Chains A and B, each alone.
Chain A
Amino acid sequence: MTIEDQLRAILCDVLGLDAERAAALDAGTPLFGAMPELDSMAVAGLLTEIEDRLDILIEDDEVGGEMLETFGGLAAFVKAKRGA
């Protein structure tokens, strides 16, 4: 699985998105503030699930801004963390 596919699977699991919506996520898809399921509590679960499944650690001061703004921003953040 690519990082993007792994993130799609995680967003599906955490937010309960159906497969169609998950498949439609692309780099420009807005996330926090635009996706009703992604409230601040869901962000907590999302970050932990990303840490567990993608084997990275996310510091509190890294959360917010571009990394949660769009799907592409989140993927770029994870890739940078993984050094990929």
Chain B
Amino acid sequence: MTAARGPHVLAYADGEFMLAYGSRNGPQLLVLQPLFEEMNRCRAMIAGLCRALAGRGVGCWLPDLPGTGESLRALDTVAWADWLAAVEAAVATARDATGIAPAVLAIRGGALLDDRAGSRRLRLAPTTGRSLLSDLRRSALASGGDPAHPAGYTVPPALAEALGAATPSVEGDIRTLRLASDDRPADHRIEGTPLWRRPEPTTDRDMEFVLASEISSWAMA
């Protein structure tokens, strides 16, 4: 079987941007990316991971949420409910295209939104909204910027409020991965680099390989 590894560009949720990787037969995975600057820092790693997973027979769906990545919407028009609705729309797009309800891989702040995706969830280094907001505020202070518009992100007050209260949900079929250096509770630990903390976008090929193995085994189980 020659699975097209893609990615293919497609639209979901009224013109939002999504990439689809790999075969539409077999296990399908919706990938919820980190939020804000962490999304940029992890972009290369996540693209590499989706290609690797596609190569292993797992179809990947990688939406950019409204106001993030390739989205044409400005972040300052986005509400928390838009992100929740976008996740539901992305699930529906993947399910309609394949007839399969996708499992979910949620990375960092993506885990704050994954309960809308319903099914089985694998989380990598989930974090809280409060922590993400602290990071944005401190980065803005450190760069001499305006804490209300940290690092060029205009986070509208209502979105900031909802984000600050958001924690990863605890109900459902959830498996949590953390890095070996992080001793908070986890189901499994992997060696690797916290790319979301690196100021320059970078990759960690060893971690990518370990993650691809871990995720594909889980997706196929």
Contacts and interface: CB of A to CB of B under 8 A. Distances in A.
Interface of A: 1, 6, 9-10, 12-14, 16, 40-45, 47-49, 51-53, 60
Contacts, number: 53
A48 B134 contact: yes
B183 A45 contact: no
Nearest to A14: B197
Given A13-B197, A16-B193, A16-B198, A44 B182 contact: no
Task: List 10 A-B pairs, minimum CB-CB distance, nearest first.
Answer: A44-B138, A40-B142, A9-B181, A48-B135, A44-B139, A13-B194, A44-B142, A41-B142, A48-B134, A14-B197
B197 A49 contact: yes
B141 interface: yes
Contacts of A48: 131, 134-135, 138
Interface string B183-203: 110000000011001110000
A41 B184 CA distance: 24
B176 interface: no
A13 B179 contact: yes
A10 B186 CA distance: 17
B127 interface: yes
Interface of B: 127-128, 131, 134-135, 138-139, 141-143, 179, 181-184, 193-194, 197-199
Given A13-B179, A13-B182, A53-B184, A41 B127 contact: no
B184 to A, nearest CB: 6
B131 A45 contact: no
B168 to A, nearest CB: 12
A41 B181 contact: no
Contacts of B127: 52
A84 B72 CA distance: 49
A49 B138 CA distance: 12
A45 B181 CA distance: 15
9 contacts: A13-B182, A13-B193, A13-B194, A16-B193, A40-B143, A44-B138, A48-B131, A48-B135, A51-B131
Contacts of A52: 127-128, 131, 184
A18 B194 CA distance: 13
A44 B199 contact: no
B211 to A, nearest CB: 16
Contact of B135 (A12, A45, A53): A45
A12 B181 contact: yes
